[in-house]
Each structure stands twice: as structure tokens, then as C-alpha cells.
Amino acid sequence: MRRFWALFFLAWPIVAIAWSWAAPSYGWWFYRPAQSPLGQEIDNLFYLILVIVTTVFIGTNLALFYVLWKFSDDGSPRKGSFSHGSHILEMVWTVTPAGVLLFISLYQMDVWARFRMTKNFDKEAVAQPLAEITARQFEWRIRYPAPGRKFQNKAEIEEWLKRPSRDDVYTVNELHCPANKPVLIHLRSEDVLHSFFIPDLRVKQDAVPGLVIPVWFEASKADHYDLICAELCGWGHYKMKGRISAESDADFQTYKRELAAKQAFDGVPAKTETKKEGEGQ
């Protein structure tokens, strides 16, 4: 019994580390690798922090084990000594973590700035925004500029965000975008806080009522990605899912033209063939 607790408290960190080590290869509680260039850098930051905390975790648990083992009650009438109030110890365990945190905060600034600071955004993506996305309970309403529309300047984009244009194309929950290049959306909320979250691309941005927030992302390959709401926004939060379809530029243009054609449908069947009614609205 004397050494039992020491071994007991050693066993759990070993289980935890073994489990965490195995998790990625078995797909337990783990994302698939980031599908965007910036996402990969965010992953690298994540791994860096993982290494740091794992080292600290192993160190503290070994120390705990050592103390438990060495000083467990063996019946001998030893007198305890107390380190409380040791100036050196206080300094060491304050300055060391502070140094580590300072390092992390400086090291990640570049990635943060590229993701969040508008002046670092891709110029082309900013000049030709992909869409305006309005989150609302419980869906993502999407408004694209007309197919082929090129914004001339910033003022035109601001005007477009203020008032819809006649030829805008509307859809809901299914955002298409070109793959392999940065795209920018303008995010708003119609009612409460929502959060625009594409886990595979490591993009997350709150949608705030009253604000129009530019968000950029880049999908590395043509694929479907889940878009989910990451802010508990009401009872239907769980069903607020969308889908990002990244595709080639040509496919995206075709998609947008087809969507515009569906939206302009006047119900008159084409003469030669019976047209199936579109679902775009």
C-alpha cells in the first residue's frame, strides 16, 4: 500500500499519453489535416503548443511521482520541511511560464496577422468579394454578385453591401467557391451571434449583428467542406449547417450562371424540352 498511490498517479498520465499518441492514427477526436495553406500553419502552431504542453505535462507528472514515491509515509519519524515563501522558487515558476507564453504570443503573430488584418488580405480577393453571407437562426443566407460582375473600386463594394443589386444571385446554405485561391466573404448576422466555422479550413469568425466582417479562406483542393455554426445561437443551433463546395474556377462560374438562370425562371417551359423547375430562389 505504501507505494500504491505513487504508482496509481503515474499510471494515469501514461494512459493519457498513450491514448493521445494513438488518437490521430485511429481518427479518435481528431480533425483531418487542414485543407488550406493558412490552416496548415495554424496546425503547425497547434503542434508546437502540443509539444510544449506535453513536455510540461510529462515533467510535472514525473515530479509528482518522485515526490509521492520518495516521501510516502514509511512510518519513520521524519520531520517535514517546507519551501513556502522561497523567493527563488517563486521567481522560477513565474518567469519560466511567462517566458514560454511570451514566446508563443510572439511566434504566432505572423499567422494571426495574415488571417485577421485586412491589410494583409489577398488584394484580388478583397477587390472581388465572393459573396455576402448572412447568418440567421438557423441557416446561412448567401448573396453573390451577378455572374461576371467586376467591382471597380472599394466604394462600389461598400454600396453593394449597403443595398442589394438587381442582378444579385441568392441561395441558402450551399456556398460554392473557386478552389486554390483566396476568396473573401462579407459576414453579417440578422439576429443573434453566430460563428462561421469551416473546421477543415481552420476558419472561424463570429457573425455579429450590426457588423459586416470580412473573412477570407482558401481551399487547397476541390472538395466539399462542412460549414457549421460555432456559437450557440438558439434551440436550432445544431441544425445550422452549410456546405462549402470548392471547385475549379470554370465550374464555379458555370454554377453561378446556372443559379442566376434558375432565379430568373419565369415558368414558361422551353419550347423544345420540358424544363424541370429549378430550386434556386
Partner 1 sequence: MRVGVSYTVLLVVAWGAVGCSGPEAKFVTSEKTQALIPEAKAPIEKSLLDNFGTPHKLVAWQKLPVDYGKAEAENAGHEKAGWKLLNGRNLYMRHCLHCHGVSGDGNGPTANYLNPRPRDYRLGEFKFTSTANGIKARSDDLHLTLVNGIPGTSMPSFALLKPEELTALVDYVRWLAMRGEFEKKLGDELTADYSKKAVTDRTSNKEKPEKRTDIIAALDLLLKGTKEAPAEFPETIKSSADAMVAAWTGAEDASNQVIPAHPRQLPSADSDSISRGRKLYLSTELGCYTCHGLAGKGDGVSSVNYWPIPGSSPQKNYPERGLHDVWGNKVKPRNLTLGQYRGGRRPVDIYRRVFAGIKGTQMAGFATALNNNKDEDGKEVKNTDGSALNDAQVAALRDRKIWDIVNYVLDIPYQDQTVAPIMPKAPAAAPQTAAK
Q: What minimum distance in Å lies between the beta carbon of 142 and partner 1?
A: 10
Residue span 175-214 as binding mask against partner 1, x where in contact by CB under 8 A, dash where not: ----------------------------------------
Asked whether the beta carbons of 199 and 228 are under 8 A apart, the reply is yes
Q: Which of 174, 258 has the CB closer to partner 1? A: 174
CA distance 281 to 50: 46
Q: Is 129 helix (H, G, I), strand (E, B) or coil?
A: coil
The C-alpha cell at 12 is: 494515469
Residue span 136-155 as binding mask against partner 1, x where in contact by CB under 8 A, dash where not: -xxx-x--------------
**Contact set for partner 1, span 34-73 (CB under 8 A):** none
Q: Is 226 helix (H, G, I), strand (E, B) or coil?
A: strand
Candidate list 166, 210, 272, 273; residue touching partner 1; CB under 8 A: 166
Candidate list 128, 241, 253, 258; residue touching partner 1; CB under 8 A: 241
Rule CB under 8 A: is residue 281 a binding residue for partner 1? Answer: yes
User: Which of left, alpha, beta for 173 (phi over 0: left; psi -120 to 50: alpha)?
Assistant: left
Part in contact with partner 1 (CB under 8 A); list of ranges 37-45, 159-167, 201-209, 248-256: 159-167
Q: How many residues bind partner 1 (CB under 8 A)?
A: 31
Q: Is 97 helix (H, G, I), strand (E, B) or coil?
A: helix
Q: What minimum distance in Å lies between the beta carbon of 54 and partner 1?
A: 37
Rule CB under 8 A: is residue 127 a binding residue for partner 1? Answer: no
Q: What minimum distance in Å lies between the beta carbon of 263 and partner 1?
A: 6
Q: What minimum distance in Å lies between the beta carbon of 176 and partner 1?
A: 13
Part in contact with partner 1 (CB under 8 A); list of ranges 40-48, 196-204, 205-213, 235-243: 235-243
CA distance 65 to 17: 15
How far from chain centre, in Å, is Cα 216?
11
Part in contact with partner 1 (CB under 8 A); list of ranges 29-37, 41-49, 59-67, 171-179: 171-179
Rule CB under 8 A: is residue 240 a binding residue for partner 1? Answer: yes
CA distance 203 to 36: 9
CA distance 167 to 263: 10
| DSSP characters over 7-60 | HHHHHHHHHHHHHHHHHHHHTTT-PPPPSSHHHHHHHHHHHHHHHHHHHHHHHH
The C-alpha cell at 54 is: 506535453
**Contact set for partner 1, span 74-103 (CB under 8 A):** none
CA distance 169 to 259: 7
Rule CB under 8 A: is residue 170 a binding residue for partner 1? Answer: yes
Burial of 230 (0-12, 13-18, 19+ CB in 10 A): middle
Q: Which residues lie near partner 1 (CB under 8 A)? A: 137-139, 141, 163-164, 166, 170, 172-174, 235-236, 239-243, 262-269, 277-281
